[in-house]
Structure 1
Amino acid sequence: MNPSGNQSVKGRSTVSGSCELGLTTSQVPPPFSKRRNTKDVSLSWSGLWSLLPDAVAVNCLAHASRLDLAALAVASKCHRSLVASPDLWDLRWRMGCRETYFYVCLRIIPDPTPQWFILNRNRRLGPIPIPWNPYQAQESSSFVVVDRGIYIIGGLINGNLTSDVFFLDYFFHTWRRVPSMKMARACASASLVDGKIYVLGGCGEDADSSNWVEIFDPKTQTWGNWFLPKLSYNIHQSVVIEEKSLLYGVDKGHGSFYFMPSECMFLTMIKLDSKPGNRNDWCAIGKLLFCRGVRSRILWCEPDVLDWKEVKGLEYLQQSLSASRRVLLTLNPCTVQRCTPTNVKCDISRLSSNSSGNIVIFWNTHPESLELWSAEISVERRKGGEVWGRIEWSDAVFKHDPRSHSDNIKVLYSASVHV
């Protein structure tokens, strides 16, 4: 059951080849253009690259853009193999030649299958979604961004926990199944620390000291365990603080904990969250933690203190989202009186950070809207210790066809990746 092949479900299909890269055949460059004053061109692209030593060819390609590399990859198997070389991507990493993209995963209800998009330069999602994975869990998965793609871990499929793990290659936009976890999990903490993925909790009462934590090594594609005493924690939120290579979070009882893989240490703290239940989507920017609270508020705190405070300067955004709106909601299409006015309020539905160190938020204009809005917010800490935010841009990033049978758009994941 490999989702990377050609399939058709509900009238849609996954694709391979040039379509995986968002290219049409008309966008693929010709093998070689005619040169003036040259009677015969005997060298094809394959012949040209074959004359170069591998190290030289890889060095040249490391400077190319992702779009150019994608076009080259569909020209021939030889080119695709060269572009897919680990040496090329390692070199691009060391040279700083990678480009940043912002990936967003949506669930357009009632369609059960999540869809992935890239936020383009026009601040729109799409227009063409990334080939979808019909086996991806519908909700409550964990996701981790690594050098070459995104791991989607566990989740709920028709209400049942799953141990499935999938990998989205964000250069070729192909899916592949990777070894499953030992335990089925949903809403687990999954984080990349020192090159390995640590998955904590999310498995309920079936967990014990041997399986509450599982560790995945992307290089060897194998799972291992990290033994802990019997734990009953259900993790509410967690975040990686890269400077210290530690995982920090709180459990459902609002107690905090540190997890330091390099020191083989799991330490629970007496400190309780100052605003339990009022914050979600934790992210770390610099030495501070940020999250979304109720009534469209964005909160911040220092990890060692856990005293959440409101980001200043965003009052207009909060008032705009929290203001009541009178909209018409259909009651019963079989009756004469089809609609009734009602008051609804908007709120931030997803918060994350991007590669610029800014906050990115999403919201729907009202509960049954098929228009998704987003804003990017820069933050700075001023004298006196307060954190202020400034809206860099705000716009509608996705509009679904109103003729469809969909009734809501839910943002499942959002993250910056480097290609």
Structure 2
Amino acid sequence: MPGLYSRPERITKVDQPPKKKKKKGERNTNTGWFSQLPDDIGLNCLARISKSQYRSLSLVSKAIHSLISSPELYTVRYQIGNTEPCLCIRQELPTHDRWYVLDQALCTDSSNGNEFNLFPITSLSPSKSTTLAVGSEIYILGGNKLPSSAVRVFDFRTRTWRDAPDMRVARKRPESALIDGKIYVVGGGTEEPEVFDLKSQTWKPLPSLSDDAEVQLCRGELLAISKYKKYAYDSKQGAWKENLVFSLNSFNFRMRLTSGPWCIIESVKFTVFNRMLKWYDDSEPGKWLSVKGLKDVCPKPHVNTTIQLANHGGGTILVLWDELDSLEFPVAGKIWQHVCKNRRIWCAVIKLEKRFFGLELEIWG
């Protein structure tokens, strides 16, 4: 028996095959099986996964990264019904528009967990044209400096632009709204409103009213005011109806006559008025009620603050507003400073809930 401090027995070394040196940055992954799949099967597999996982998966292999970057992936997701909301923001510039998408599948890590990056997407639309979201598409209507009847459509499924049928009348920055599956366009240098049927892809004029009636598109509602009468358009029957519910001085009617952000969530119309989130009660025409459980949905806006609403799916509404900050930088050899404007976009995510108190409906956020 060896002593306590004796040399241990010699162990015979077994020859091992030389290990392949790993290149710098190379990942130890076993994903060869995925690259051998046909593209249509690979796309079908990825289309069933939440987009929030795409960023991590795209780092696994070049094959997966290529499929995730492919426009066909969004087409497959749409075909199988596995779609997720995607927020798109347009920045108006003097000569053109710049489009960004907030896609959590592509968001980079941030030191601040509440900050996300906006990623640019291809844009060929004229500056300051009217935009309207219709499902997975964005419609660009009319012109900016000069009236135009052109209509362009951006398809998020394929990330491509296409031309739609021209409007009947050339317009410059008209008002537009999607109501009951049809696009309504008002103004833009002409008093002739028209409607676009998405199914038949045709434009038609709206029924005419008296010569002195002024048609307005306010918070997703078509209204017409003449000297002695006021009308509301019934989109289901395709006709104007005289509205005798409110006086012109009532709060609800004044609110209906003002433009403002609005959106529809689960057949309920929402808007922001005096920084309060409100919803439209169909049981009593023209009645707007406040969403309970909320304070002001955004800080007191500055002069140039823009407020927008968006349906983010799952009974969730997004309230967006922007703020301009002045950043001052010293200039070498000068006593004055260079001032740069920094635009920060804020977003409040509000989960909505319907509650009944007896026969009375309330919406909480």
Shorter-chain TM-score: what band? 0.5 to 0.7
Say which structure, 1 or 2, has more relative contact order (CA 8 Å, 6+ apart): 1
Q: Distance in 1 between matches of 2:184 and 2:196?
A: 6
1:199 aligns with 2:184: yes
The aligned residue for residue 380 of structure 1 is 353
Find the aligned partners of 2:32 and 2:265 in 1 and give their Cα distance. Answer: 51
TM-superposed CA distance for 1:143, in Å, is 0.8
The question of 1:321 aligning with 2:300 is answered yes
Preserved CA contact (<8 Å) 1:275 1:308: no
Corresponding position of 2:334: none
In the TM superposition, what whole-angstrom CA distance separates every residue of 1:282-312 from its partner, at most 9, and x where no partner exists? Answer: 2223453221113x22222313421223333
Aligned residues of 1:289 and 1:300 also touching (Cα < 8 A): yes
In the alignment, is the contact (CA less than 8 A) between 2:320 and 2:347 conserved in 1?
yes
The amino acid that maps onto 1:143 is: L
Structure 1 residue aligned with 2:100, among 103, 110, 117?
117
Gaps of at least 5 residues in structure 1 are: 1-31, 36-42, 240-247, 323-343, 391-419
| Number of the residue aligned with 2:290 | 310
Q: Deviations over 1:52-104 (max 9, x none)?
A: xx8x788656535665999879959xx979x3797x466412xxx22322222
Kept in 1: contact 2:315–2:353 (CA 8 A)? no
| Alpha-carbon spacing, 1:317–1:349, altered in 2? closer, same or farther (3 Å) | closer
TM-score, normalising length: structure 2: 0.62
Please name the residue that 2:263 is paired with. Answer: 283
Whole-angstrom distance in 2 between the partners of 1:301 and 1:44: 52
Question: 2:308 is matched with which residue: 350, 375, 379?
Answer: 350
Match of 1:146 in 2: 135
Paired residue for 1:361, among 299, 310, 319?
319
Aligned match of 1:39: none
Q: TM-score, normalised by structure 1?
A: 0.55
Q: 1:229 maps to what in 2?
A: 208
Note the C-alpha offset of 1:372. Answer: 1.9
Provide the secondary structure at the position in 2 that maps to 1:356: coil
What residue is the counterpart of 2:157 in the other structure?
171
The one-letter code matched in structure 2 to 1:106 is Q
Q: Write 1 or 2 for the structure with the bigger share of helix.
A: 1
Displacement of 1:366 in angstroms is 5.4
Percent identity reads 18
1:352 and 1:361 in contact (8 A); partners too: yes
Judge conservation of contact 1:346–1:363 (CA < 8 Å) in 2: no
Q: Do the aligned partners of residues 266 and 92 (structure 1) sit closer, same or farther apart at CA in structure 2, a change above 3 Å counting?
A: same
Q: Classify the secondary structure of the residue corresponding to 1:234.
A: strand
Q: Is the 8 A contact 1:213 1:225 kept in 2?
A: yes
* Structure 1 residue 259: Cα displacement: 1.0
Structure of larger gyration radius: 2
Preserved contact between residue 268 and residue 279 of structure 2 (Cα < 8 Å):
yes
Give ranges in structure 2 of 5+ residues lacking alignment.
1-29, 105-112, 247-251, 327-341
SS at match of 1:274: helix
CA RMSD of aligned residues (A): 4.2
Superposed CA deviations along residues 111-145 of structure 1, whole A, max 9, x for unmatched, are: 44222222344665534211222x33414x04132
User: Match for residue 293 of structure 1?
Assistant: 273
Secondary structure of 1:100's counterpart equals coil
Which amino acid in 1 is paired with 2:144? I
Q: Is 114-123 or 56-65 further displaced after alignment?
A: 56-65
Contact 1:279 1:293 in 2 (8 A): no
1:213 corresponding residue in structure 2: 194
- Whether the aligned pair in 2 keeps the contact of 1:200 and 1:214 (CA below 8 Å) is yes
Q: What is the rounded CA distance, in whole Å, between the counterparts of 2:296 and 2:74 in structure 1? A: 49
Q: What pairs with 1:93-132 in structure 2 (closer than 5 Å)?
A: 93=81, 97-107=82-92, 111-121=94-104, 124=115, 126-132=117-123
**Is the contact made by 1:234 and 1:252 (CA closer than 8 Å) also made in structure 2?**
yes
Q: How many residues end up aligned between the 2 structures?
A: 291
Aligned in 2, Cα 1:144/1:309: closer, same or farther, shift over 3 Å?
A: same
Structure 2: how far apart are the matches of 1:44 and 1:356? Answer: 35
- Distance in 1 separating the partners of 2:263 and 2:303: 25
Structure 1 partner of 2:166: 180
Decide whether the 8 Å contact of 1:104 with 1:116 is kept in 2: yes
Rounded to whole Å, the distance in 1 between the matches of 2:349 and 2:50 is 25
